[in-house]
Chains A and B, each alone.
Chain A
Amino acid sequence: MTDEVALLERAKAYDLAALAELYDRYAPRMYAYIYRRVSDAALAEDLTSELFLRVVRAIQNEQAWRDSFIAWLYRIAHNLVVDHYRRQPLAPPILLDEALVALDDDPASIVEDALARDRVRTAMRRLTAHQQEVLTLRFGEGLTARETARVMEKTTGAVEALQHRAVAALRRILVGEETS
């Protein structure tokens, strides 16, 4: 932690080595988070790049990240994703992700898994941005309710309630699809 504080102090003064280290440390994680929200690897990489541009432009404002740098990163990433969907609300769902297909897997199970994922992913798109965020942070990033609360600037109780509502809503959507 002390190491990170020192690193951030150096980064604040635009120390390129410190910034590069921060990037290497957090960019893969942020890329994964954004990918989980947008389901498009190239787009996720672009948004990750944009995220770190914003970071470097705002890093002098210590107040923004003093409490938790990672929480700040997640917040910026969330804003980028929301902005992206606001600009392109009708982005087509991605049916199969070729990158996930390994040659030695059973093709039938690959397709089955992929379809199941796409179904959940498509249903996820019908949730609110906050509901999507809470599910991604909890199940994708593996954050605790408390950590999620910090990222989302909510109380732990509010996060738990939001998660409960999100899962219930997702279930309703999937059940509705099955019956229809």
Chain B
Amino acid sequence: MTTTDDSLERELEKLYAHVPPPPGGLTAGRGRMLAEAARLKAQFTSLSISNAAKTQEPDRRRKMKLFLAYKIIAAVVAVVMGTTAAGGGIVLASADSLPGDTLYSVKLIVEDTRLALTADPADRAELILSFAAQRTEEIGRLMAQGESVPEDTLARMARHTEQIMVQIAHAQQEDIPGLLERVVERTRAQEQVLEQARTLVPEGTEPALRWALEVTERTSDIASAALRDPERFREEYRHRDEGTPGPDDGASSSRTPVLPCETCTPGRDRDRDRDRNEDQTHTPQPTATATPSPSGPCGTCTPVQDRDRDRDRDRTHAPERTATPMSSPPSTSMPTHTPSPAGPCETCTPEQDRDRDRDRDGDRTHTPSPTMTTTPSPPPASMPTNTPEPTTGPMPSPTSVPRPTHTPEPKSTHTPMPEPTHTPKHGGHVGGH
């Protein structure tokens, strides 16, 4: 065979000229496509109707007003912070602070404010990426200093990581590959640091660490898959965020994650949770199923309760790591157990919580772990530091109830529960060294 360019090109043309007819005449594909279109059309129609109904809800408008109000407040805070920074350099000084430092809360407020004032999805994604990198760096520095890693920091890192993909999906098409590559890089670094932290964190921090690791690994997988097929990623995540039918399957809309709100106040979060629970009509659903839950991380459970809940969930719904994460994107919230109305109750008293848990566990024939009632544990902070916490009031119950300040277990040398007067603003360490 001659191998000059011309002859080679002729060979190529000859090679390409031969295309055998499709064995099935392409009819099967036609049928599959039309069936899928019919399914999507039905789904789209029903969702359009329900979305139209929702837009008429006055409650929705009220929430929108609250959101705008928060934005304005955030802008004012930003101006005030800027002025203060000019005088005393507090903001600058806070940049190097670590969880537990006095200025750390300032650092987090600055972050939240910057995020609240950023509208462009690509810029938001960049910001969130940089915040997640900040948390990684902080955890690394804490470990280097032999300090414990606070749950708040891990939870915040996980929340940031969860939000990145949705923001990227809304970015301009040309920005997406670069952002995804950075996500892959960052999540790798994050994973390494978290893996190292696994051996060093105090016992009570384990659920938050596991959550952070899960989210990081999942995000890394999704970002890698998205790099291979950015169009599909955009489609799925855009629909997911907007609550419109996703291209994936019928479950897309029901899987729409309710991310821990970065800009909400705890009160707003409570409202949101309450609304969500109301939407679920409070029908008891004692049996855990594999249905992904829209509920976020338990805001008030102790780590022990979280562990129990995870264990319950694991029994019925093993976490799936599919080869094609794009085709079945996992819920971005950590807990994926049944959206039971018996979920975390922000407003219940501890007694009510216990009763409710007992009922639920009884239905599942699950004997509550004895540690659930004997080991006082700190709450994993689901929204711990992203908004200025009231410094005078205690945490919402049950964390406001005074608890023992030490664990009765002889092994533990740290104090897992902050003092009742301690505000979680400064990181809420789960015991120090």
Please tell me if A175 contacts chain B, counting CB pairs below 8 Å.
yes
**Contact A14 B12, CB 8 Å, known A19-B33, A58-B235, A100-B20:** no
Please tell me if A156 contacts chain B, counting CB pairs below 8 Å.
no
Is B18 a contact partner of A100 (Cβ separation < 8 A)?
Answer: yes
Interface flags, B209-247, vs A, CB<8A=1, else 0? 000000000000000000011011011001000000001
B231 contacts which of A44, A45, A64, A120 (Cβ < 8 Å)? A64
Please tell me if A145 contacts chain B, counting CB pairs below 8 Å.
no
Interface flags, B6-18, vs A, CB<8A=1, else 0? 0011011111101
Is A14 a contact partner of B18 (Cβ separation < 8 A)?
Answer: no
Is B19 a contact partner of A32 (Cβ separation < 8 A)?
Answer: yes
Is A52 a contact partner of B12 (Cβ separation < 8 A)?
Answer: no
Please tell me if B38 contacts chain A, counting CB pairs below 8 Å.
yes
Interface residues of A in 96-136 (CB under 8 A from B): 97, 99-100, 113, 116-117, 119-121, 135-136
Q: Which of B23-31, B52-60, B294-302 contacts A (4 or more CB under 8 A)?
A: B23-31
Is A49 a contact partner of B32 (Cβ separation < 8 A)?
Answer: yes
A16 to chain B, nearest CB (A): 5
Please tell me if A174 contacts chain B, counting CB pairs below 8 Å.
yes
- Tell me what chain A mostly uses at the interface: helix, strand, loop, or mixed: helix
Contacts of A24 in B (CB 8 A): 30
A79 to chain B, nearest CB (A): 5
Interface residues of A in 79-96 (CB under 8 A from B): 79, 82-83, 86
Contacts of B13 in A (CB 8 A): 139
A14 contacts which of B28, B38, B229 (Cβ < 8 Å)? B38
Q: Closest residue of chain A to B323, judged by CB? A: A87
**Contact A58 B232, CB 8 Å, known A23-B29, A49-B32:** yes
**Contact A63 B41, CB 8 Å, known A36-B19, A58-B231:** no
A167 to chain B, nearest CB (A): 6
| In the bound complex, CA of A4 to CA of B266 (Å) | 51
**Contact A57 B11, CB 8 Å, known A14-B41, A49-B32:** no
| In the bound complex, CA of A19 to CA of B37 (Å) | 8
A153 to chain B, nearest CB (A): 9
Contacts of A20 in B (CB 8 A): 30, 34
Interface flags, A27-52, vs B, CB<8A=1, else 0? 11001100110000110110011001
Please tell me if A171 contacts chain B, counting CB pairs below 8 Å.
yes
Please tell me if A140 contacts chain B, counting CB pairs below 8 Å.
yes
**Contact A58 B247, CB 8 Å, known A19-B37, A35-B20, A53-B33:** yes
Please tell me if B279 contacts chain A, counting CB pairs below 8 Å.
no
Is A167 a contact partner of B19 (Cβ separation < 8 A)?
Answer: no
Is A27 a contact partner of B228 (Cβ separation < 8 A)?
Answer: no
B16 contacts which of A28, A31, A36, A42 (Cβ < 8 Å)? A36
Most chain-B CB neighbours within 10 Å: which of A16, A113, A178?
A16
Interface flags, A132-159, vs B, CB<8A=1, else 0? 0001100110000000000000000000
A-B contacts, 29 of them at CB < 8 A, read A19-B33, A19-B34, A19-B37, A23-B26, A23-B34, A28-B22, A28-B26, A36-B15, A41-B22, A41-B23, A49-B26, A52-B33, A53-B32, A56-B37, A57-B40, A58-B235, A63-B173, A83-B229, A97-B18, A100-B18, A116-B14, A120-B11, A139-B16, A140-B12, A140-B16, A167-B5, A167-B9, A171-B4, A174-B8
Which residues from chain B sit less than 8 Å from chain A, CB to CB?
A: 1, 3-5, 8-9, 11-16, 18-24, 26, 28-30, 32-34, 36-38, 40-41, 44, 173, 228-229, 231-232, 234-235, 238, 247-248
Which residues from chain A sit less than 8 Å from chain B, CB to CB?
A: 13-14, 16, 19-20, 23-24, 27-28, 31-32, 35-36, 41-42, 44-45, 48-49, 52-58, 60-61, 63-64, 75-76, 79, 82-83, 86, 97, 99-100, 113, 116-117, 119-121, 135-136, 139-140, 167-168, 170-171, 174-175, 178
